[in-house]
Amino acid sequence: MRLLSRISILLIAILLGFSSCGDEPDGKWDKMKWNNLSNLKQEEGKYIVPASGGTYTFECTNYKAPWINSVTEEGVDEYSLIEVTDNFHTFIGKWFDVRCVNADLVVTIDPLDADCYERDMTVIVTAGDIFEIFVFQQQWLQ
């Protein structure tokens, strides 16, 4: 009888241990941490992209493989207009290319057309229940 109750207690403890593994309540994920490897200037929460465009890399230091949640251009969700490949690791738009490569977010922005003064793009990256928002504003600088 004692052996049976010890086995029961052991089984209950094992089951409780397995059921609690990996369950993080919503909001308990660590904030994503990023290194701006391109040293792109940031003002008022926006990365300022020169009219010449370029490629900019941001390294996530605490999540191994983030992916792209959404891309918005000029306030319009571009999901239906973007070529989606690689399980949300690559979005290609009319004037930009956004990729998650391992822990890096790589954003390539084409040069600004002479008839366009400025344009904005927002990229939301996720690693599960945690999100990071990148806002890019490309403009002719004075």
Residues 103-127 have pLDDT tens digits of 999 999 999 988 878 899 999 999 9
pLDDT for 36-87, tens place per residue?
Answer: 999 899 999 999 999 999 999 999 999 999 999 888 887 766 654 455 555 6
pTM assigned to the model: 0.74
pLDDT tier for residue 19 given thresholds of 50, 70 and 90: very low
Q: Give the start-end residues of each E strand in the chain.
A: 34-36, 42-43, 46-50, 54-60, 67-73, 76-77, 83-85, 90-92, 96-101, 104-109, 118-126, 131-139
CATH superfamily assigned to domain 34-139: Immunoglobulins (2.60.40.10)
> What is the model's pLDDT at position 117?
81
Cα–chain center distance at 142: 31
User: If you ran DSSP here, which 8-state letter would residue 81 be given?
Assistant: G
> What is the model's pLDDT at position 119?
92
> What is the model's pLDDT at position 59?
97
- 96 forms beta bridges with 109
CB atoms within 10 A of CB 112: 19
The answer, yes or no, to whether residue 16 has pLDDT greater than 50, is: no
Within 8 A by CB and 6+ apart from 134, the residues are 47, 58, 105, 107, 122, 123, 124, 125
Closest listed residue to residue 57, CA positions, set 107, 124, 23: 107
